[in-house]
Homo-oligomer: A and B are copies of this chain.
């Protein structure tokens, strides 16, 4: 079976920059897959693939992530659409790029399937990537840094329950700065989007910290009234 059109049509793909925080190593990681075919055979690349005709762009992104990395129901946000004529050596390919945030919660290297070779790379030890994926990834990283300051996306990188110190470290790792503990907490208190649970940290060899939860509903409500998240 084949499909014929009056004018030439580009192929359309989705590609995802999937980020996670590695709290042990204190750095930001991105998920890459090793290509099993030409071009760029054996090069590392962003997970992604062709958009099917019966699925929306975001559905395509979710499906490709599921197929190539096993990740499901993760935070996805459209980044940019790359359409330079020669970005793929074979033919015209337009790629809708997404950035994705996941919390690893211990399963740091579990995210590989039998089908494809997938691995987490820290951002300062990146291999050279296939196509223009290096550029896509660096623009995605920049976007993440920018967004972190004025949208509560950081919580997508944390487990459901987290401590205030974890949250602070997350910001410090991604933005590569350090915050004063008291001032950081003061700000969060005023933002008023955290729910203090009555649970505390387990299995730590020091005073256990209180666990908090991000109140998505409350945030949406505040946001719709013109409230401006900023950290």
Contacts and interface: CB of A to CB of B under 8 A. Distances in A.
B81 A96 contact: yes
Nearest to A9: B9
B81 A10 contact: no
A3 B2 contact: no
Interface residues of A, number: 28
B3 A53 contact: no
A191 to B, nearest CB: 19
Contacts of A94: 12, 51, 57, 94, 96
A51 B81 contact: no
Interface string A1-44: 11111111111100000000000000000000000000000000
A55 B84 CA distance: 7
A92 interface: yes
Interface in A38-60: 50-51, 53-57
A85 interface: yes
Contact of A3 (B1, B4, B12): B4
A85 B54 CA distance: 6
A10 B54 contact: no
Contacts of A85: 53-56
Nearest to A80: B78
Nearest to A86: B56
A57 B78 contact: no
Contact of A9 (B11, B78, B96): B11
Shortest 7 CB-CB contacts between residues of A and residues of B: A57-B83, A9-B9, A8-B53, A81-B81, A4-B4, A3-B8, A56-B84
